Every structure is written in C-alpha cells, then in structure tokens.
Chain A
Amino acid sequence: MFNKGLRNILLTPFLIWAGLFIFIPLIFIVWYGVTDYGGNFSLVNMGLIFKHGYLDALELSVALALISTIICLLLAYPLSLILTERQRDNTTIISLLFILPLWMNSLLSTMAWQTILESNGIINQILRLFSLPTMQMINTPGAIVLGMVYNFLPYMVLPLYISLAKIDHHILEAAQDLGANSWQTFWRVILPLSLPGAVSGITMVFIPALTTFVISALLGGGKLLLIGNIIEQEFTFQYDWHVGCALSVILMIFIVLNMLLTTAFDPLKEEEDF
C-alpha cells in the first residue's frame, strides 16, 4: 500500500509501546522471581512452591480449572450449536441475550451466587419450604467451580459460536447428499471444523480459571486458597515481592505449557492468514 519507510514509522509507536509495557514488565517479574533480597541470583523463592501448602494450592487450582474448562466445553458446545441453528432463522436477539450477562459487573454477579448458595440462601430456603434437607454449598470446591463456569462460559461460547457459524451450509448439505446421517455429519464434518473454536475457548477459560483469586475469595470463604489467592496475598499483605514474583513465574510456566499444548492440537493453525 505504501513504502517501507512509512510502514516502519507507523510500526515504531507499537514497538516502543510493546517493549515498555509488555516485555520490560515481564522481565521485572522474572528478575524478582529469581533473586533474593540482596539482589543475588537464587532459586530459593521458586523452591517455596514445594512448601507451606503452596503445592496444595497449585494442585487445587489446576484441578478446579480443568474441571471448569471441561464443564464449560460440555455446556457451550450444544448451546453454540443451537444458537447457530437459530442464527439461520434470523433470531439475533436470542444470541445477544446470551452475551448480555457479560455487561453485569462480574464481582457483583459472583457475589449474588453467595446469596443463592449460602446456608440461609435462596436454594436452601426453597428446600426448607418443601421440608427437604438443606445442603452445604457455599465455601466448597463445587461453589468455586460454579463461579468459574458462570464467569467464563461466555469466553467458551463466543469462539465456538463463531467457528460454527462460519461453517458453510453447502458443506453440510454435501455431506448429507453423499449419504451421511446427521450423527456422521456431526462427527466427521461439524466437529473437526469447530475444533479451532474449541481450542481457543479452552485457553480463554483455562487460564483465567487457573489464575483467579476473586472467585475463590467470594465463593470459597477464604479457606480454600488457590495459587492466585496466595500470590495476591504476597503483594497486598506480606509485601514479599520476591515470593510473589517467583510464584507468578511458575504460573507463567503453566500458561506457556497450556499455549504450546493448544497450538499443537490446533489443526487449522497453519491455514490461518495472519
């Protein structure tokens, strides 16, 4: 469109921006993570992950994040299929209604789940009304999973929905013309074509679920600590940046692993244009 000089001038602001606000901050974290208070290289703080119950927190975080991601995928897939079907009938409003809850403040709606789940909450009051035994729901791992699914479901629905909506009508008709029944069409055509959407959905749910500290603080009652809670406390209560950063570096290792895994399983990655 224009010459290389102009292109490079236009790229400069972003390069400076990315250097200053993306790379240098990450270097800061790694530097704090691998040094001690005197500024000498030391892996002591990284090694802390094996002590103090930190490992328990990390295991719990990985387990709950995995469960939430699987539940989100199982819930979102049929939902996106139904929504794309309806999209063809031109009912945009229904699709919009499923994105709308994103605009409610997520802290407040997570807190509303407290009101629903707590021992004197809405569900237990309904159970009492029918003289059924009440349930302990709040402050359990299940409540945290529910909060994660509630908060991150839209991030699974959106990419899935987009990749399903992109599938050409005619391909499905061709599959049927060639004698595939609806199950075969789904298994051999729709599912493989929607895989890229599922892959990006999995990343977009797994990483925030793995690193959250808000949902566990609200629905875990402060007793169930995730790795995010521990990092947050290091910065806001203990003021121990070195430990906080060391744990963040360990978190980043998990994020990179997740990204490598998902790109390895993304069959269409190479065909994407940018």
Chain B
Amino acid sequence: MNYIKKIYLAIIFLFLYAPIGVLIAQSFNASRYRGHWTGITLDWYTKLFNDDRIVNALSNTLSIGLLSAGIATILGLITCVAMKELSRKWRATFMSITNVPILNADIVTGISLMLLFMGLGLRLGYVSILLAHIVFNVPYVILCIMPQLMALDKSFYEAALDLGASPFKAFSSVVLPELRPSIFAGFLLAFTMSADDFIITHFTKGAGVDTLTTAIYAELKIGIHPEMYALSTLVFLFVLIFVVLFAINRRKLKKYEEVIS
C-alpha cells in the first residue's frame, strides 16, 4: 500500500513539474526557438537585465503587486474588524459580497471593470490595473484574516481598555500582534495572485503598459524571448529557496518547542 502511495505521489509530481523542467531547460537553450535544442548557454541570463521591456514589465509587476497587496491588506483588515461586530446574519451577507470577485469568472470581472473605467473616463493604464488588482485582492485578504479574528478573545482588548489604553492603542498593541500571521499570509497571497494574474490585467491595461504576464501573452504569437524563461527560472528558484528555508525553520522551531516542553 505504501508503495502504491509513493508511486502515485511520484506520478503527480512528474505531471506538475514536467512543464517547469521544460521551461528551465529552455532558459539554457542556445536556440531562440522552443523545442529546438542546440546547446547550452547562459546568454539569456546575462541579456535579461539589459532588455528594457522585460525590466519595465518586471518593475510594473512588482510595484503593482506590492501596492495592491498593501492597500488590499489595509482595506481588508479594517473591514474584518468592523465585520466582527456585525450580527451573524449581516456578517454572512457581507462575506458573500466580499467573495463576489473570487467566485465570479475573471473574464467577467475584467470586462466589467474595463467598462467602469471607460465609463468614468479613466485612461486605461497603470492606475486602472492597480485598482483592478486591489478589487480581486481584498477578498483573499479577508479570507485569511477573518477566521483568526473571529477566534480572537475579546477580553484582552477590553482589559487593555480598562487599564486606560485608548481604543486605538489597545487595538494596535493587543489585537494587531495576534493577527500578524494572518495579515502576513493575506498580504503574501494577494501579492501572488496579483503577480500571476493575466485575464483581469489583459482587459484593464492600456497600450504601452505591460506586466510580465501580458508581456508574455503578447510574445506568444511571435515566439517567446528566451529571456522570459531565464526570468521565470530565477523567480521559481527564489521562491523554492524561500519555501525550503521556511520549512526547515519551522521544523527547527517545532523541535525547539518540543525540547522546551
């Protein structure tokens, strides 16, 4: 039985990583053409940061990701705190409103926001992409923060008030530290969603502004520049290292806790 489980894991693992392996291989391929192997090169890595288009798209992706995740986290946090005080029925209603951008299809969200921006006379570009990303990021933040906030014990906050703290002081020094893990998780999830979004960005972007995903889509018909493979390989390795370090750290922490207790 254990054997079958291991084989099953291995097959799924192969399925998930086969295309990633292909992409990494292509980033070292001397040929510009996909599926045509002519030898190993590091050229694409050295050319990567001289390509203005890619550098621009990368900086747009990063700044839109950080800004939209940051603003969504603040808006989501404020909304969560207020929602905790609502009656159960109203809270359920609010939760279903916040979930609309997640449950709705990306193509519908993208088109509807495009129509709104054009109706308002807002020029499609950086700002419209940023606003659209905040729209679909807020629900992810709320989904991360709300469960932890609901589980939080009110009496600590009330104790702080009784001891003379202002509501703001009590919130920032009692409630906020407790919520830190879920706020961080919400921010990270929002950033990831923003960086990987294509469909909504596709409809809300204007000519001349590109994020990485829309730059890649524009290249699909003419052939992807191999620098893109190099860049995504670097991003993937960066996340891999981050995740492995995180996992090792957590393990050490757990062992440490076991030793103490």
Chain A residues in contact with chain B, CB under 8 A? 1-2, 4, 6-8, 10-11, 13-14, 17-18, 20-22, 24-26, 28-29, 32, 75, 78-79, 82, 90, 92-94, 96-98, 100-116, 118, 120-122, 150, 153, 203, 207-208, 210-211, 213-214, 217-218, 228, 231-232, 235, 241, 244-245, 248, 251-252, 255, 259, 273-274
Contacts and interface: CB of A to CB of B under 8 A. Distances in A.
Interface string B204-215: 000000001100
A104 B236 contact: yes
B111 A90 contact: no
A255 B12 contact: no
Q: Is the interface of B mostly helix, strand, loop or mixed?
A: helix
Contact of A113 (B19, B92, B104, B111): B19
23 contacts: A1-B81, A2-B167, A4-B85, A11-B79, A14-B98, A20-B116, A28-B115, A32-B115, A94-B9, A96-B247, A102-B192, A104-B23, A104-B232, A105-B213, A108-B23, A111-B220, A121-B35, A235-B114, A235-B203, A255-B105, A273-B150, A274-B146, A274-B150
Nearest to A30: B112
The dominant DSSP class at the A interface is: helix
Listed residue (A98, A100, A116) with the most chain B CB atoms within 10 angstroms of its CB: A100
B23 A79 contact: no
A106 B97 contact: no
Contacts of A251: 105, 107-108
B123 to A, nearest CB: 17
B18 interface: yes
Interface in B214-243: 216-217, 220, 224, 228-229, 232, 235-236, 239-240, 243
Contacts of B18: 112, 116
B184 interface: no
Given A11-B82, A14-B79, A79-B12, A114 B97 contact: no
Nearest to B146: A274
A105 B19 CA distance: 11
A127 B224 CA distance: 27
Contact of B13 (A97, A213, A231, A235): A97
B131 interface: yes
Nearest to A2: B167
A22 B101 contact: yes
Given A25-B116, A121-B35, A228 B107 contact: yes
Nearest to B196: A106
A255 B135 contact: no
Interface string B9-45: 1001101111110110010000000110000000000
A116 B147 CA distance: 42
